[in-house]
Structure 1
Amino acid sequence: MMRVLVTGKHGQVDTALQGLGDQLGLEIIRIGRPEVDLAQTDTMEDAVRAARPDVIISSAAYTAVDKAEAEPELAQAINGEAPGELARLAKELNIPILHLSTDYVFAGDKDGAYEETDLPAPVSVYGKTKLSGEEQIAAQTDNHVILRTAWVFSPYGNNFVKTMLRLAESRDEVNVVADQHGCPTYAPDMARVILAMAQQVAIDDDPTLRGIFHLTGQGETTWAQFAEAIFEGSANRGGKWVQVNPIATTDYPTPAKRPANSRLSGEKLDQTYGLVLDPWRISLDSCLDRLITQGNLVKDG
């Protein structure tokens, strides 16, 4: 049985990896706080070695984008130093590491979808620390896969879909930014692709399977349009419909600057692995079925 070490115990992606891994007959070993604190890299080595993994999936991160502006050292420790330490251990164990990164490594000023060869230029502390993590992994081992994703949602954890549904419980209208563009990405769909990649790189040393890939749902939208789709889906399932008022980013100031364009091209992933994620609207239907139809709208589950 293939042993897969995953960082994170409560995140959207690591939860999805656990569920799918169990179905596929993989042994998923999740590590995280309180036993392992990514902010303190000296807590990681014993846990990694004890797991005896065949592959490492680095999915945990400091994701409080605005808070990172006031906590750059902590964000750097978790997003920059910890992935580098995981990569060092992966090299010592002679196994591959797959690492989740973000659209925030880009400035967001490109007209079309970003490709893997486009030059990173992060405009926030979060983006800078995530880019640091990419660089530190690449410096430690060639046997790596870096997966940049964006706008992650799922039936669990905290995300935009669940936030909108909760707001609907107490509001008849919401203001949502309409000038940021991206590709909503469903965590269970990500898990399917990530585990397929992990199984392949664990047995195939082809260098073309390594490097940077973009991993997002098919199709693009804005946050406001995404919210409209969520409420339409809610109404279709007997839930509440809420009026969405499109606003500009300047009307909703935040400590951290967001990329206006978070669109990532998945062409390289498709060409190299033959893997694509579902269109985001199909994935949203799956998510809403679980949250509304099955009554699973809870804060952390």
Structure 2
Amino acid sequence: MKILVTGATGQLGYDVVREGSRRGFEMYGIGSSQLDITNKNNVISYIEELRPDVIVHCAAYTAVDQAEDDKETCWKVNVDGTKNLATIARMVNAKFLYISTDYVFNGEGQEPFTETDSADPIGHYGLTKHTGEESVKSLLDKWFIVRISWVFGMNGNNFIKTMLRLAESRNEINVVGDQYGSPTYTYDLARLLIDMIQTDKYGIYHASNEGYCSWAEFAKEIFRVSNKDVVINSIKTEEYPTRAVRPKNSRMSKQKLVENGFTTLPPWQDAITRYLTEINSRGE
């Protein structure tokens, strides 16, 4: 099976390429320097020549605060780029897996959002990702949409690396404690995605590591596992204003994974332990 992965220089794309290669698939990982997905003609010529069996679309404009001020670029990447890829996927009859986000929801309430709950994004980034979802659904028959949250992986910056970096110069850190969700380890997610694209169990899925926590609880577990004596002060969202509004409830139900026989990801605490072990083994 020939698999094209966009966003291969990012955290998730990197691990998807690595996992697919480990299983013996013909993997083609590209970043923006290899292909500008907002250029439709370039996308068509590249994919018509490659003719992949599957496109795993990890590339995205994910700077949620910057998106509020650079709406045009965010839209071009997340909407126009996705449309371009979905259009050519239909032409070459490729399966299409689109990575989406918890930001398509409004973040209200305390119950986990289900795969069938109505989208109601509260920021421009979430709006573009939801519009990307709708484009995939309207243009294709063989599609997967996988919503994820709070991503961390080896290849790139993330919350865990930020906390460890801050701990080098601080013994006390303020972290938001009233936003809840699930961390997602890209190593675990990549294994699920490679499993998924080998099936025809199309549809919308939620995929993150099992269990829920606040950002403050996330930080405390990072320092507990890494044996660092850092005090985490849990603060309210209002005490840490950001350009884009953050959802307070990013809990997502993974019922669709269970119903379709996929293995859910391990608990988030276990993922942190394995991730920190990997970082230490690499000397990072």
Q: TM-score band, normalised by the shorter chain?
A: over 0.9
Q: Which residue of 2 aligns with 1:200?
A: 199
Matched, 1:75 2:74: yes
Where do 5+ consecutive residues of structure 1 fail to align?
202-208
Q: Give the whole-Å Cα distance in 1 for the aligned partners of 2:39 and 2:263.
A: 35
Q: Give the whole-Å Cα distance in 1 for the aligned partners of 2:104 and 2:164.
A: 29
Q: In 2, are the aligned partners of 1:155 and 1:296 still within 8 Å (CA)? A: no
Q: Give the whole-Å Cα distance in 2 for the aligned partners of 1:247 and 1:122.
A: 24
Q: In 1, are the aligned partners of 2:133 and 2:145 still within 8 Å (CA)? A: yes
TM-superposed deviation, 1:48: 1.7
Q: Which residue of 1 aligns with 2:246?
A: 258
Residue 216 (structure 1) aligned to one of 201, 208, 211:
208
Where do 5+ consecutive residues of structure 2 fail to align?
none
Q: In 2, are the aligned partners of 1:154 and 1:161 still within 8 Å (CA)? A: no
Summarize deviations over 1:1-21 as a string: whole Å, max 9, x none.
x11000013111111112111
SS at 2:13 equivalent: helix
Q: Give the whole-Å Cα distance in 1 for the aligned partners of 2:121 and 2:180.
A: 16
Q: In 2, are the aligned partners of 1:116 and 1:213 still within 8 Å (CA)? A: yes
* Aligned pairs for 1:271-282 within 5 A: 271-282=259-270
**CA distance 1:41–1:32, shift in 2 (3 Å):** farther
Q: CA RMSD in A?
A: 1.1
Alignment TM-score, normalising by the size of structure 2:
0.97
Q: Which residue of 2 aligns with 1:140?
A: 139
SS at 1:70 equivalent: coil
Summarize deviations over 1:138-182 as a string: whole Å, max 9, x none.
111121110001011122211101111111111111110000000
Summarize deviations over 1:89-117 as a string: whole Å, max 9, x none.
11111121000000000000032100011
Q: Give the whole-Å Cα distance in 2 for the aligned partners of 1:109 and 1:156.
A: 32
Residue 243 (structure 1) aligned to one of 219, 231, 237:
231
Residue 277 (structure 2) aligned to one of 289, 293, 296:
289
TM-superposed deviation, 1:120: 0.6
Q: Which residue of 2 aligns with 1:230?
A: 222
**CA distance 1:120–1:296, shift in 2 (3 Å):** farther
SS at 1:218 equivalent: coil
Q: Which amino acid aligns with 2:177?
A: A
Q: Which residue of 2 aligns with 1:54?
A: 53
Q: Which residue of 1 aligns with 2:185?
A: 186
Q: In 2, are the aligned partners of 1:63 and 1:126 still within 8 Å (CA)? A: yes
Q: In 1, are the aligned partners of 2:145 and 2:205 still within 8 Å (CA)? A: yes
TM-superposed deviation, 1:261: 0.4
